[in-house]
Structure 1
C-alpha cells in the first residue's frame, strides 16, 4: 500500500472509529450491554466491508486500471449483498440490540463515505505520471532515421 493509499484509508478509518466509539457509549446508556454489543457489531461490520473494499479497489487500480470502474460497481454490489446476508442471518438474534446495531451501521457507513470523499478531495494525487510523459517525449524527439 502506497503512502497516499494509507493516508486515504486512515482518513476514513479514524472518523468512523470515533463515531463508533460514541455510538457504543450512547447505545450502552440507552439499551444497556446488549446495545453496546450491537453497536460494536455494527462498527466492526462497516469497518470490515468498507476497508476490504477500499483495499481491493486500490489494488485493482494499480494492476488493472482499465477495470477500475467496473470493479467499483461490482464491489458496491458485493457490499450490499454481504450486508444483506448478515442482516438476514441475524434478523431474529437476541445476542445484541438490533436497533442499536442498525443505527450504528447507518451512522458508521455515512461517516466512512463522507470521510472517504473528503479525503479524496483533499488528496493531491497526480492524474498523469510526469516521468512517463517525459520518457515518451524523449522517445519521439529523436530523428526518424
Structure 2
C-alpha cells in the first residue's frame, strides 16, 4: 500500500469513527441495549466491508493503474449490494434493533465515503511518474563533433 493510499484510508476512518460513535450513543439512548447492539454490528459491517473493499481496490490496481476508475466503481457497487443484502437479511431480527442498525450503517457508510472523497481530492498525489522509466535519448547532434571546413 502506498503512503497516499494509507492517508486516504486513515482519512476515511477519521471521518467515519466520530459519526459512528455518535450514532452508537444515540442508538443506545433511544433504543437501549438492542439499539447499542445494532449500532455496534453496523459499525463492524462498515469497517469490514469498506476496509476489505479498499484493500481489494489497492490489490486490483497495484499492477494496472489504468483500471482504477472501473475497479473503484465495481468495488463500490459490490459493497453497496452486500450492505443491502445484509440489511434485508437482518430486517426482522430480534437480536438487535434493526432501525438503529440501518441508520447507524447508513450514516457511518456515508461518512466513510465522504472521508475517502475528501482525502482523495485534497491529497497531493502525483499522476505522472517523476522518474522516467526509460532514459531520455540524446539529441542526434550531441556527442558528435561537427567538423567545419574553413578554407
| Same fold (TM > 0.5) | yes
CA distance in 1, matches of 2:68, 2:122: 21
Counting matched residue pairs gives 141
Per the alignment, residue 139 of structure 1 pairs with 136
Contact 2:24 2:39 survives alignment (8 Å): yes
CA distance in 1, matches of 2:59, 2:34: 37
In the TM superposition, residue 82 of structure 1 has moved relative to its aligned partner by 1.0
In the TM superposition, residue 142 of structure 1 has moved relative to its aligned partner by 5.3
CA distance in 2, matches of 1:57, 1:141: 39
Name the structure where helix makes up a greater proportion of residues.
1
Select the structure of larger CA radius of gyration. Answer: 2
TM-score (norm 2): 0.84
Q: CA RMSD in A?
A: 1.7
Give 5+ residue unaligned stretches, structure 2.
142-151
Per the alignment, residue 48 of structure 2 pairs with 48
In the TM superposition, residue 2 of structure 1 has moved relative to its aligned partner by 2.0
Runs of 4+ in 1 over 3 A off after TM superposition: none
Worse-matched range after superposition: 81-90 or 37-46: 81-90
Secondary structure, counterpart of 2:131 in structure 1 = helix
In the TM superposition, residue 143 of structure 1 has moved relative to its aligned partner by 4.4
Q: What is the correspondence of 1:110-121 to structure 2 with a 5 Å cutoff? A: 110-121=110-121
